[in-house]
Amino acid sequence: MDDGSCIYEIPGCTDPTAINYNPDATVDDGSCEYAPCEDSCPTVYDPVCVQDASSPDGILTFPNACLAECAGYTGWFTCPIYGCTDTAAINYNPDATVNDGSCIYEIPGCTDPSALNYNPEATVDDGSCEYGICEDSCDPNWYEPVCVYDGSTTTPIDFQNPCYAECAGYTNWQPCHTDIPGCMDPNAINYNPDATFDDGSCIYDNNACDNCDPSLNEPVCVFDAAGGVLTFQNPCYAECEGFTNWQPCNGTGGANPFANTESGSVSITGFEATAYPNPASEQITVESNLFTYNVEVFDVTGKLVHSTRNITNGITELNVQEYTSGLYFIKVYDSEFVKTIKVSVTK
């Protein structure tokens, strides 16, 4: 009598890693099914290569080792990195392990298409560009004066038009000032009727004071901003020396420091004073036969610019290197005698 204890084989997939694993199966019937290998691989990109004779270059590349092994390639290796391995090249690749001949090098030359020696293959401008004569491109009939104030002189560098200025390398040009510098005193021998501002260059006739009346005693004074004062016997002597801004001395009086100029309105027997060279640019020598004397130097505005006192050796040197160009008056005097010498300083 069958007691129900019979046991029968149960065919099925007995591999627990299979997607159709049957835990009740007692006999593996070869029906196991597996998920694709790629599904278990990471998505990281760390390429590996394998030898494969069927590929064009004999090498197959996989994104990572897992995928290579999924494809049955266990003998994978790190892929070579192709690129430029020359550090002197502008496209050097520090990660490259194999030089693929792609290196690109700088080509020095002129990169300006407007230059005569423009090199279309140059990659770096080496400053060798050569140009035609710039002035040839400027219109000589175009008159629009421009000036360049470069700081080295108070006189601007002027050009006929902006083109000529820029040809000379001056891109910081500006329209020239309409002011015309010059001497604006009609009494000066270099009076410029076209001048629009006085530049202190007026020169006066050495004999202009001959027309003054030495018997007229109406003292006038010229005061400077520093409080210095020049005194003249009368207005004529002040104006003949270029001082038109005189005013009555209001009782201050004083001897006329210009009364004994080279034009000679007063003559003092035995007193001599000279200054040379005249004109001068660096140094003026003053000599006098006075036993002890003083020297003062005034500019054309009446401003005292130098003073030396108690000179006893009969001679003194004046350094005029720092003086601006123009007329100056050297006053040589003691307690009794006085003489003023007109000198010109040029640069």
Q: Which of 45-49, 79-83, 207-211, 284-288 has the lowest mean pLDDT?
A: 207-211
The whole model's pTM is what?
0.29
Radius of gyration, CA atoms only, the chain: 51
208-347 CATH choice from 2.30.110.10, 2.60.40.1930, 3.40.50.300, 2.60.20.30: 2.60.40.1930
Joined tokens for residue 51: 């030898």
The backbone torsions φ and ψ at residue 235, rounded to the nearest 5 degrees and listed phi first, read -55, -35
Statement: residue 226 has pLDDT above 60: no
Residue that the structure tokens 């003489």 belong to: 339
Spatial separation of the C-alpha atoms in residues 9 and 98, rounded to whole Å = 61
Statement: residue 263 has pLDDT above 80: no
Query: What share of the chain has pLDDT > 90, as a percent?
Result: 14
Looking at residue 136, its amino acid is D
Model pLDDT for residues 192-224, shown as the tens digit of each residue: 887 776 766 777 665 667 778 877 878 877 764
Q: Among 278, 276, 274, which residue's Cα sits nearest to residue 261?
A: 274
Spatial separation of the C-alpha atoms in residues 181 and 198, rounded to whole Å = 6
Domain map (residue ranges) of the chain: 38-78, 134-175, 208-347
Spatial separation of the C-alpha atoms in residues 121 and 163, rounded to whole Å = 31
The DSSP call for residue 314 is S
Q: What pLDDT, on a 0 to 100 scale, did the predictor assign at position 152?
A: 58
Model pLDDT for residues 271-328, shown as the tens digit of each residue: 788 899 888 889 999 998 888 889 999 887 777 889 898 898 889 999 999 898 888 8
Residue that the structure tokens 């194999």 belong to: 98
Q: Which residues are within 8 A (CB) of 247 and not within 5 positions of it... i.e. 6 or more apart?
A: 220, 221, 222, 223
Altogether, the residues listed in the chain come to a count of 347
The C-alpha torsion from 59 through 63 and 69 to 71, rounded to 10°, is -70
Spatial separation of the C-alpha atoms in residues 13 and 215, rounded to whole Å = 149
Statement: residue 339 has pLDDT above 60: yes
Q: What pLDDT, on a 0 to 100 scale, did the predictor assign at position 265?
A: 27
| CB atoms closer than 10 angstroms to residue 111 | 18
Q: What pLDDT, on a 0 to 100 scale, did the predictor assign at position 252?
A: 40
Looking at residue 84, its amino acid is C
Q: What pLDDT, on a 0 to 100 scale, did the predictor assign at position 267?
A: 31
- Would you place residue 94 in the very low, low, confident or very high pLDDT band (cuts 50, 70, 90)? very high
The C-alpha torsion from 82 through 87 and 88 to 93, rounded to 10°, is 40
CB 16 within 8 A of CB 32: no
Q: Among 142, 138, 174, which residue's Cα sits nearest to residue 158?
A: 174
Spatial separation of the C-alpha atoms in residues 79 and 55, rounded to whole Å = 15
DSSP per residue, 73-90 = --S-EEPP-EE---TTST
CB 174 within 8 A of CB 153: no
**pLDDT higher for 157 or 200?**
157
> 42 preceded by cis ω (within 30°)?
no
pLDDT, mean of residues 123-146: 80
Q: What pLDDT, on a 0 to 100 scale, did the predictor assign at position 178?
A: 65
Angle made by CA atoms 126, 129, 132, in degrees to the nearest 5: 170
Residue that the structure tokens 């020095």 belong to: 108
Q: What pLDDT, on a 0 to 100 scale, did the predictor assign at position 303?
A: 78
Average pLDDT for the chain: 79
- Would you place residue 165 in the very low, low, confident or very high pLDDT band (cuts 50, 70, 90)? confident
In 3-state terms, what secondary structure has residue 295? strand
Model pLDDT for residues 10-32, shown as the tens digit of each residue: 999 988 767 788 999 999 998 88
Statement: residue 86 has pLDDT above 70: yes
CB 346 within 8 A of CB 279: yes
Statement: residue 264 has pLDDT above 70: no
